[in-house]
C-alpha cells in the first residue's frame, strides 16, 4: 500500500466518513498502517462491513447518516482530522434521484464541517470530484478552470467544495478538497449500472458477457488506481498551508474506453468486443488532470501507474472477488444495509 512508503507521521485521531465504502476502506487500511487511530462513520447504504472485515476491528465503527447533526456530532467528537468520503457517488443515480444525492453530497458536508468546527477538529480533507469540471474544453484540467457541472451529483460535489473553502476562510479550519479522477481498484462495486466502468468491464468479461459502452468509446478518462488516492489523503493529513484549495488527484494520463477494453481483453484473453448504447446524459467527454498543484501543495505524484493498477485489480477480481461476493450476499441477507440510527457497530 502506498501510504506505507511514506515517512512515519505523527499519529492522529482520524474520522473517515464513508469508511465502509470502496475508497474509504482503503483509506482506513492506509491510516491504520501508519499508526493513526481511526473511527469510521457509514450508513452502509452502498458501503459494506465486509470491506473492513480484513482489518479485524482495529478501528471504531459508527453506523449512521452523517447528514443528521447528532450523528455528525458523535462521529467527530474527540477527532483531530476528518477524511470525508461519504456521498452517493454516481452521476446516473443523481439524475434519476437528485435529492438523496444532494443530501449526501452537499448537506452532509455542511453538517460535518459545522460539527467539526464546534468539536475543535483541526483538519478537514474532502473527497471532491473531477466531475465539477464538466466539459470544460481545455485539457489537462487545471483547478483554476471555471467549473461547469453537468449533473446533480457534480453540483452537489461543487457545493461541498465551496463549504470546505468557506470554513477555511471564515473559521480557520485547515481544509482541502481532493478532486479525484475516476478511481478504480479492489473492492469497487460492480453489481449495478452505477458502478465504476473498470469494475463493470472486468465483471462482464469474466462472466462472458459483452461490456456496454455508452457512445463511441472514444471518450477518455484519467483512471486513477486507489492507492494513489490513499497516498494523496495521507499527504493531506500532514501538509502545511491548507486554506480550502481544490486540488486534482489523478494519474495524469488519459485512456479511452476502447483502449481500456483492449487492455482488459489482452490481460484476460477475452475478445475486445462491446455492446454499444446511447451516450449517457451528464457524462463528460474527456478527462485528464494537471497535477502541478497537487505536487506543490501536497508533494503528490502518482505512485502506481494505470497498467499496474489494472493488473492488481484484475488479480483481486480473479482471486478474492468470488468469496467477497458471497460475503456481500450474506451481508445483504443479514440486513446490514442502511442501518439506523447511529450506534457503535
Ligand atoms: N470512485 C470514484 O471514481 C470517485 C471519483 C470522484 C470522487 N469520488 C468520491 O469519493 C468518495 C467515495 O466514493 P466511493 O467510490 O468509495 O463510493 P462508495 O459508494 O463505495 O463509498 C461511499 C460511502 O459513503 C457511505 N455513505 C453514503 N451516504 C452516507 C451518509 N449520508 N452517511 C454516512 N455514510 C454514507 C456509503 O455507504 C459508502 O460506504 C465519494 O465522496 C465520491 O463522491 C469517487
Domains, in order of start, for the chain? 2-184+223-254+290-304+323-344 (3.40.50.720)
DSSP code at position 289: B
pLDDT of residue 345: 25
Do the beta carbons of residue 256 and residue 217 sit within 8 Å?
A: yes
Atom index in ligand 1 nearest the CA of residue 86 equals: 24
- Whether 163 is a known active-site residue: answer no
Nearest CA to ligand 1 atom 7: 129
pLDDT of residue 7: 56
The pocket around ligand 1, CB under 6 angstroms, is made up of 17-18, 20-24, 41-47, 65-67, 85-89, 104, 108, 127, 129, 157, 180, 182-183, 196
List C-alpha distances in Å: 4 to 74, 131, 251, 303: 30, 29, 19, 12
What is the whole-number distance in angstroms between the Cα of residue 263 and the centre of ligand 1?
Answer: 27
Atom index in ligand 1 nearest the CA of residue 84 equals: 41
User: Comparing C-alpha atoms, which of 128, 46, 131 is closest to residue 88?
Assistant: 46
User: Comparing C-alpha atoms, which of 101, 102, 91, 82 is closest to residue 15?
Assistant: 82
* Alpha carbon distance 273, 213 (integer Å): 10
For the chain of 345 residues, list the mean pLDDT of each consecutive stretch of 10.
54 97 98 97 96 93 98 98 96 93 97 98 98 92 96 97 98 98 93 80 90 94 97 98 98 96 92 92 89 98 97 90 64 46 27
What is the whole-number distance in angstroms between the Cα of residue 273 and the centre of ligand 1?
Answer: 30
pLDDT of residue 336: 44
pLDDT of residue 206: 87
Do the beta carbons of residue 288 and residue 252 sit within 8 Å?
A: yes
What is the whole-number distance in angstroms between the Cα of residue 285 and the centre of ligand 1?
Answer: 23
Give me the catalytic one of 126, 133, 153, 225: 153
DSSP 47-105: --GGGGGGGTT-SEEEES-TTSHHHHHHHHTT-SEEEE--S---HHHHHH-HHHHHIII
Amino acid at each position: 500500500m502506498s501510504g506505507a512508503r511514506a515517512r512515519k507521521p505523527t499519529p492522529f485521531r482520524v474520522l473517515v466518513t464513508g469508511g465502509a465504502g470502496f475508497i474509504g476502506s482503503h483509506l482506513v487500511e492506509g491510516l491504520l498502517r501508519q499508526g493513526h487511530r481511526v473511527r469510521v462513520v457509514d450508513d452502509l447504504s452502498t458501503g459494506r462491513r465486509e470491506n473492513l472485515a480484513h482489518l479485524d476491528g482495529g478501528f471504531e465503527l459508527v453506523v449512521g447518516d452523517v447528514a443528521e447533526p447528532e450523528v455528525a456530532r458523535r462521529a467527530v467528537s474527540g477527532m483531530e482530522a476528518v477524511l470525508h468520503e461519504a456521498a452517493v457517488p454516481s452521476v446516473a443515480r443523481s439524475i434519476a434521484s437528485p435529492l438523496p444525492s444532494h443530501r449526501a453530497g452537499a448537506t452532509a458536508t455542511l453538517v460535518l464541517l459545522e460539527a467539526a468546527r464546534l468539536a475543535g477538529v483541526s483538519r478537514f480533507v474532502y473527497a471532491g470530484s473531477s466531475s465539477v469540471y464538466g466539459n470544460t474544453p481545455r485539457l489537462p484540467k487545471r483547478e483554476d478552470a471555471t467549473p461547469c457541472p453537468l449533473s446533480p451529483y457534480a453540483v452537489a460535489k461543487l457545493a461541498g467544495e465551496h463549504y470546505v473553502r468557506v470554513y477555511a476562510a471564515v473559521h480557520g479550519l485547515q481544509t482541502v478538497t481532493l478532486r479525484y479522477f475516476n478511481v478504480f481498484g479492489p473492492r469497487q462495486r460492480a453489481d449495478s449500472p452505477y458502478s465504476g466502468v473498470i469494475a463493470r468491464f472486468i465483471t462482464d468479461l469474466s462472466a462472458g458477457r459483452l461490456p456496454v459502452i455508452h457512445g463511441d468509446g472514444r471518450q477518455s478518462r484519467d483512471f486513477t488506481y486507489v492507492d494513489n488516492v490513499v497516498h494523496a489523503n495521507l499527504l493531506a493529513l500532514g501538509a502545511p498551508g491548507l486554506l480550502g484549495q481544490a486540488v486534482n488527484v489523478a494519474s495524469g494520463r488519459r485512456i479511452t474506453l476502447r483502449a481500456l477494453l483492449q487492455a482488459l481483453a489482452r490481460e484476460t484473453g477475452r475478445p475486445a468486443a462491446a455492446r454499444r448504447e446511447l451516450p449517457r446524459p451528464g457524462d463528460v467527454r474527456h478527462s485528464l488532470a494537471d497535477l502541478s498543484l497537487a505536487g506543490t501543495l501536497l508533494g503528490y505524484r502518482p505512485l502506481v501507474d494505470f497498467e499496474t493498477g489494472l493488473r492488481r485489480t484484475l488479480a483481486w477480481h480473479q482471486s478474492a472477488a468470488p468469496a467477497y461476493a458471497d460475503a456481500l450476499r450474506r451481508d445483504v441477507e443479514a440486513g446490514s444495509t442502511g442501518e439506523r440510527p447511529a450506534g457503535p457497530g
